[in-house]
Homo-oligomer: A and B are copies of this chain.
């Protein structure tokens, strides 16, 4: 048996990493949360998803599958941090013809640059319309219920009087190619809790899955009301 086939055998049999009776185990949570995201219109047509990191393990859904039909057995487990040589390594991969989410390098930005415990990616039309209606490369809003959003996604909650800023990067044909421009935006906007991708969607992170999810909800709510306000000629930022 070659070392490669040994490694494959090992990872496909590491099912104990994704089998748990605990509904809050990441391999159970990811399918449940993705079903919820599907019904919110965030992951229509296989796009989008959520990754959860617990200590030195990262749980990731497959690419190109119906996000409302994921099973725990479909989940990939990767080590964190990545090995220094840069090759992608798996602690567990599904015994099917599945590939890990194309968002994996983008999720890693959130883990590496912010120490996040979870990262959500949606194709929400509210996020996309916000990128189309925002002049320039920064979405801004103030004097809304932005208290559910945290500085940099990880620190203190914003206040009603603060102005939320979310950078917008340009889309690329391949999701992986967004890695550098997303990282660059995260460094230029250290207080931003998310990065919008023009004509594509958004990446949002938090210290754990609950905070990543609730911040995604808050941001989506803000984009939605911003679109409505724009349609009525109302300004998004008050002095």
Contact = CB atoms under 8 A, between A and B. Distances in A.
A199 B143 contact: yes
B228 A148 contact: no
A225 B129 contact: yes
A138 interface: no
Contacts of A224: 125
Chain A residues touching B, range: 35 or more
Interface in A172-205: 172-173, 199-201
Interface in A119-168: 123, 125, 128-129, 132-133, 143-145, 147-148, 159-161
Contacts of A112: none
5 contacts: A44-B217, A45-B145, A129-B228, A145-B200, A160-B173
A239 interface: no
A214 interface: yes
Nearest to A198: B143
A145 B218 contact: no
